């Protein structure tokens, strides 16, 4: 099963509280472009598109066609990308070998069957097409801002998120190979106070899976840290690329 099921409250919190803006993503734009090789007519699948941030960014940055798939009806209702359609990772609504790349951002931990999702991506992608996975992985998440203040949420990642090795093994079963794993910098907020003031527990699945006391203690740690923190909040997330 997925870590959580997004209802209206979760979807609204996600739409309001995921900090990234396109102005804070120059390193992601460059990293993606190295593996996407954008060109006119390129069709990119945004799987688990959420509220449409990345679909819109891909269109604006590269001028490609994005087909966005989101299984949650509440999330689709908050999407700012009009071409978002319903669909699941193990039953994508596309013909075989009709897509040129797949983008999965903060998605792999929600896939109930990685092997089935990998097989379905192999079916709809053209030969040699890349799968670009933006994610937090166990053993590589300690520097993510949220987890500095919520160690119980980091424990959720370590215990319940798939590792790089597990993802690669599932995709290897259908012929994908790892070609890149790199941390990519991102600016998530102008300062830590903005993060603390805007934090909504429902927007982050690891926070929903810790106790109320652990959440309150983490929020207290974050607010205490705002007294000394200066400047933008910068962190890194991993980009895993498979072909």
pLDDT in tens, 25-76: 899 999 999 999 999 899 999 999 999 999 999 999 999 999 999 999 999 9
**Structural element, H or E, at residue 45:** strand 43-47
Position 6 confidence tier, pLDDT thresholds 50, 70, 90: low
Superfamily of domain 8-140+161-189+234-242: Vaccinia Virus protein VP39 (3.40.50.150)
| Cα distances (angstroms) measured from residue 17 to each of 25, 101, 198, 205 | 16, 28, 6, 12
Q: How far separated are the first and last CA of the chain, in Å rounded?
A: 26
Contact by Cβ (8 Å): 111, 217: no
Model pLDDT, residue 142: 86
How is residue 71 written in tokens? 């299984």
Long-range contacts at 139-147 (CB < 8 A, ≥ 24 apart): 139/163, 139/164, 140/164, 140/183, 140/238, 143/235, 143/236, 144/235, 144/236, 144/237, 145/188, 145/192, 145/195, 145/233, 145/235, 146/204, 146/206, 146/207, 147/206
Per-residue pLDDT tens for 121-159? Answer: 999 999 999 999 999 999 999 889 999 999 999 999 999
Model pLDDT, residue 163: 98
Q: What is the mean pLDDT of the chain?
A: 92
Tally Cβ neighbours within 10 Å of residue 39. Answer: 10
Model pLDDT, residue 40: 86
Per-residue pLDDT tens for 194-217? Answer: 999 999 999 999 999 999 999 999
Using the predicted structure, report yes or no on whether residue 11 has a pLDDT greater than 50. Answer: no
Residue 182: strand pairing partners: 239
Using the predicted structure, report yes or no on whether residue 13 has a pLDDT greater than 80. Answer: no
* Model pTM score: 0.91
**Hey, is 214 helix, strand or coil?**
helix
Tell me, rounded to whole angstroms, the distance of Cα 130 from its chain centroid: 16
Angle, to 10 degrees, between the axis of helix 164-172 and the axis of helix 114-124? 50
């Amino acid at each position: 099963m997925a870590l959580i099921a997004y209802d209206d409250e979760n979807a609204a919190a996600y739409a309001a509280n995921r900090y990234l803006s396109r102005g804070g993503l120059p390193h992601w734009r460059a990293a993606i472009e190295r593996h996407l090789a954008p060109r006119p007519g390129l069709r990119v699948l945004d799987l688990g598109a959420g509220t449409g941030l990345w679909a819109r960014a891909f269109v604006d940055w590269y001028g490609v066609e994005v087909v966005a798939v989101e299984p949650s009806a509440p999330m689709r209702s908050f999407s700012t990308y009009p071409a978002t359609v319903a669909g699941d990772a193990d039953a994508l609504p596309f013909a075989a070998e009709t897509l040129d790349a797949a983008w999965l951002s903060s998605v792999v931990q929600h896939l109930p069957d990685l092997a089935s999702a990998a097989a379905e991506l192999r079916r709809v992608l053209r030969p040699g097409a890349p799968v670009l996975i933006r994610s937090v992985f166990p053993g590589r998440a300690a520097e993510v801002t949220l987890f500095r203040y919520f160690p119980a949420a980091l424990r959720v990642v370590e215990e319940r998120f798939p590792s790089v090795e597990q993802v690669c093994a599932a995709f290897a079963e259908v012929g994908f190979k790892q070609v890149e794993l790199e941390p990519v910098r991102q600016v998530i907020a102008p300062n830590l106070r903005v993060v603390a003031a805007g934090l909504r527990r429902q927007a982050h699945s690891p926070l929903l899976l810790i106790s109320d006391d652990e959440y309150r203690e983490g929020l207290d740690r974050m607010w205490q840290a705002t007294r000394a923190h200066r400047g933008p909040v910068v962190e890194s997330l991993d980009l895993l690329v498979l072909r």
